[in-house]
Structure 1
Amino acid sequence: MYRLTASYAHSDDPAALVAHYRDVHAKLGAKLPNVRSFSWGVCETPDGSKPAHALVAVLDWDTKEAALAALDSPAGKEAVADLQNFAQAGVDLEFQEVRKEV
């Protein structure tokens, strides 16, 4: 499995970041070709302190080639272009070859 993790920086307007992600960006992510799993959540910490990121999304494909093809597709290009509409504080995109231990 090949994974994309998107970690979003804290915005000046956290409610607007979450609303845009929920109402617009997540719907774009769900349209990516051959995505096997897509989940996201607002970050919290056990002690209530400010977490390193505001929101994290995780998307899985069968292979690296499938992930890269999805991002290069019209749906992928639309999702990437949408980042400018809500992620002005920044987003870290990281890929991983997933290895399950359990």
Structure 2
Amino acid sequence: MHKVLVLYPTPTDPAAFEEYYRNVHLPLARKLPGMLDHRFTLSVSAGDQESPYFAIFEADFPDEATYAASMASPEGQAVGADVPNYATGGAVVLHYDVEP
């Protein structure tokens, strides 16, 4: 299993981020070929500290090659190109194999 984790620092306008993310970006992301499942949160807690992240997106792919092909596809290119439209705080993308 190959996981993708996208960490979003706090944007300049959280309400605008949420509106765009839910209504435009997630529908694009759901079209990624080869993606097995995905989940997200707009409520990140760091215990008694302030979280450095506002939102987190996770996706599952069967393997790294499928993930790479997905991101190279037209759908993947559209997802990547869309990030600056809402993520004013930027985004950190991590991907890794998960061991059982």
Which residue is 1:91 aligned to? 91
Q: Secondary structure at the match of 1:76?
A: helix
Number of aligned residue pairs: 100
Partner of 1:7: 7
CA drift of 1:10 comes to 0.3
Aligned to 2:33: 33
Tell me the amino acid that sits aligned with residue 66 of structure 2. Answer: A
Structure 1 residue 4, shift from structure 2 partner: 0.8
TM-superposed CA distance for 1:50, in Å, is 2.9
CA contact (8 A) 2:36 2:61 kept: yes
Cα distance in 1, alignment partners of residues 29 and 99 from structure 2: 23
**Contact 2:12/2:88 (8 A) holds in 1:** no
Query: Secondary structure at the residue paired with 2:67?
Result: helix
Superposed displacement of residue 49, structure 1 = 4.9
Change (3 A) 1:46 1:6: closer
Instruction: Give the deviation of 1:84 after TM superposition.
Output: 1.3
Shift of 1:44: 3.0
Q: What TM-score comes out, normalization by structure 1 length?
A: 0.91
1:69-88 CA distance string (max 9 Å, x none): 00000000000000110112
CA-based RMSD: 1.4
Identical columns (%): 25
Residue 67 (str. 1) matches residue 85 (str. 2)? no
5+ long unaligned stretches in structure 2: none
TM-score (norm 2): 0.92
Question: Does the residue aligned with 1:34 lie in a helix, a strand or coil?
Answer: coil
Instruction: For structure 1, list consecutive stretches of 5 or more residues without a partner in the other structure.
Output: none
